[in-house]
Chains A and B, each alone.
Chain A
Amino acid sequence: MSLAHSPAAGYNSPVPPVSQTIRIKVLLFGRLKELTGHGEDSAEIADAATIEQLFALYAARHPELAKYRTSVVASRNQEFAAWDTPLRSGDEVAFLPPVSGG
Chain B
Amino acid sequence: MAPLTHDDIYQLVREPIDTAALTHQVRAPEDGATVTFDGFVRNQSHNRPTLYLDYEAYESMALAKMREIGAQLHEKYRIHRVAMVHRLGRLQIGETSVFIAVSAPHRAAAFDACRFAIDTLKRTVPIWKKEYFEDGAVWADGELPPAPAATPRAKRAS
Residues of A within 8 A of B (CB): 27, 29-31, 71-75, 78, 80-86, 94, 96-102
Q: Can you list 27 contacts pairing A with B, beta carbon distance less than 8 Å? A: A29-B58, A29-B128, A30-B130, A75-B126, A78-B58, A78-B61, A80-B146, A80-B148, A94-B58, A94-B61, A96-B126, A98-B143, A99-B123, A99-B144, A100-B122, A100-B141, A100-B143, A101-B55, A101-B86, A101-B121, A101-B122, A101-B126, A101-B129, A102-B86, A102-B98, A102-B121, A102-B122
Tally of contacts, chain A with chain B, CB under 8 A: 96
Q: Do A82 and B148 touch (CB < 8 A)?
A: yes
The closest CB in chain B to the CB of A31 belongs to B139
At the interface, is chain B mostly helix, strand, loop or mixed? Answer: mixed
- Expressed in whole angstroms, the minimum distance between the Cβ of A41 and any Cβ of chain B is 14
Name the contact of A78 in the complex, choosing from B64, B141, B142, B148 (C-beta under 8 A): B64
Partner of A82, one of B140, B143, B151: B151
| Cα(A98)–Cα(B138), bound, Å | 13
| Residue among B62, B129, B154 making CB contact with A100, cutoff 8 Å | B129
Bound-state Cα–Cα, A101 to B142, Å = 8
Q: A100: which B residues are within 8 A, CB to CB?
A: 122, 127-129, 139-143
Q: Does B124 contact A (CB under 8 A)?
A: yes
| Of A73, A96, A101, the contact of B98 (CB 8 Å cutoff) | A101
Residues of B within 8 A of A30 (CB): 56, 128, 130, 139
| A29 and B126 in contact, given A98-B143, A102-B121 (Cβ under 8 angstroms) | yes
Size of the B side of the interface (Cβ < 8 Å), in residues, is 37
List residues of chain B with CB under 8 Å of any chain A CB: 39, 55-58, 60-62, 64, 86, 97-98, 118, 121-130, 139-151, 154
Contact of A78 with B60 in the complex, beta carbons under 8 Å: yes
Cα A22 to Cα B148 in complex, Å, equals 24
> Smallest distance from the beta carbon of A29 to chain B beta carbons, Å?
6
Which residues of chain A are within 8 angstroms of B64 by Cβ–Cβ distance? Answer: 78
